[in-house]
Amino acid sequence: MRRFVADHLAFAQKNARWIGGGFLLTLSSSFGQTFFIGLSGNDIRATFNLSGGEFGGLYMLATLASALTLPWLGRTLDLMAGWKVVRFTMPLLAAACILMAVAPGVILLGVSLYMLRLFGQGMMTEIAITETGRWFVASRGKAMALITPGLMLGNGLFPVVFVLIHGAFGWHDAWLASAALVLLIGWPAVMALLRVERVPHASEAGHKSARVARDWTRSQVVRDPVLYLLLAGTLAPPFIGTVIFFHQGYLISLRHYDPLAFAGAFPVMAVTTVVFGFVCGHLVDRFGALKLLPFFLAPLTLASLAVGLVTPVWGVYLFMLLLGVSNGFTQNLMGALWPEVYGLANLGGIRAITVSAMVLSTALGPGITGSLIDWGVPLPTQMLWMAGWCVVASLALGFAANKVRVREADRRDLSQHI
């Protein structure tokens, strides 16, 4: 363990510029995440006289629009350096925060939600993961494990700060303070850190853990059946996680949990996510993302079963623990997977497709499950179905991983005979 920690610290120190930039980008994605926007949900509904369903519908439309835009905007990462994309995306994220504070009507409220989802959750994550995937070849898993805790820090820090500002000055000023934080601190810092590109050393490219497929174009990717097998599994974690967090009030009421007991389980998830993020990073660098792919949904399967079957309050802590394990594996595995499957040349555009699908799943999840609840299918029953989804998806991921390995082996054999 001591050697493990020392190795990561030495790696972070040696690559502090790029790790720091990626960490700040994932931290900045917090301003477009559901947990942060939801902090002012009651104020937004009261200000604009929206019902819960109306606000939820507007939020879903904004998220769907951002999912449709992301594949085109993410393509910019294949046309210019990441810091040049940051040059215009972070100011637009700040503008979205300002618009949230000053929007005079529902239409501009919808525009602000769209911009927050696109430039916050979407592009901040897209830039961080795509650039890190390109910069680090032999140590891609380790690098992902060091930048993804930025979001966990945002989960723990920003709600407290927001609530304090909200209590002292109101929710509008809390959003203005968020814009100032992005524009005056986050933007200059990320620009300064990422302006110098990291070029992998020649020794890294030939390292035994440097797993990169041939370079696919986006048009080839969308016609590849393997993509849809991979998405069938990789979309399960964001879909299921969003469903639970969106319906936590329903679950608390259904099982008569103490809201404070439920809230107290979130730190368990946060800590476990970070710890298993480092574990996954180590495993990715040692074995590759493809070898881990058929197994990474196992913790989420158990987490879904815990929600469906365990009714005492300790089941919440068990679920959060297992969800943290799942999140730690998911965040790092998804950063390393796509270069192994589709190469690096068009990684920005390809990742934009996958991130767009992820955003779409988070938009559809609450709506689909909410309708099922209205039709008399309780959430615990639905979670048992989702556990079944995870099992079937794991089989699909195993098949897809084997398919990728076979075609890459065939490609290498062919190149050797030419």
Cβ atoms of 217 and 346 closer than 8 Å: yes
pLDDT score, position 260: 73
Query: How confident is the model at residue 208, as a pLDDT?
Result: 45
pLDDT higher than 60, residue 135:
yes
What pLDDT, on the 0 to 100 scale, is given for residue 230?
92
- Which residue has 């999840």 as its token pair? 365
Asked whether 155 and 35 are in contact (CB, 8 A), the reply is yes
Residue 333 confidence (pLDDT) above 80: yes
Residue range 213-257, pLDDT digits in tens: 677 888 888 899 999 999 999 999 989 988 887 777 778 888 988
Same fold, 16-210 and 213-413: yes
Structure confidence at residue 64 as a pLDDT band (50, 70, 90) = confident
Give me the pLDDT at residue 172, please.
Answer: 94
Contacts of the segment 179-185: beta carbons below 8 A, 24+ positions apart: 179/94, 179/95, 179/97, 179/98, 179/101, 180/94, 182/28, 182/31, 182/90, 182/93, 182/94, 182/97, 183/90, 183/91, 183/94
Nearest to 215 by CA among 148, 323, 312, 134: 134
Query: In angstroms, rounded to a whole number, what is the distance separating the alpha carbons of residues 295 and 280?
Result: 12
Q: CA–CA distance from 347 to each of 76, 179, 278, 343, 406 (Å)?
A: 11, 29, 23, 7, 21
Average pLDDT for 354-360: 82
Place of tokens 């679920």: 319
How far apart are alpha carbons 31 and 90 in whole angstroms? 11
Q: What is the pLDDT, as a whole number, of residue 399? A: 93
pLDDT band with cut points at 50, 70 and 90 for residue 415: low
| CATH of 213-413 among 3.40.50.10800, 3.40.50.720, 1.20.1250.20, 3.40.190.10 | 1.20.1250.20
pLDDT of residue 209: 46
Question: What percent of the chain is modeled with pLDDT above 70?
Answer: 92
pLDDT of the residue at 374: 81
- Answer positive or negative: Cα dihedral of 62, 29, 164, 39: positive
Highest mean pLDDT among 135-144, 173-182, 326-335: 173-182
Tell me: pLDDT of 284 over 80.
yes
pLDDT at 410: 65
The verdict on pTM exceeding 0.85 is: no
Q: Is the pLDDT of residue 157 over 70?
A: yes
Domain 16-210, architecture per CATH: Up-down Bundle (1.20)
* pLDDT score, position 177: 96
Query: Where exactly are the structural domains of the chain?
Result: 16-210, 213-413
Residue type present at position 414: L
- Residue 120 clears pLDDT 90, i.e. is over it: yes
pLDDT per residue as tens digits for the range 367-394: 788 888 888 899 999 999 999 999 999 9
**Model pLDDT for residues 189-207, shown as the tens digit of each residue:** 999 998 887 766 555 544 4
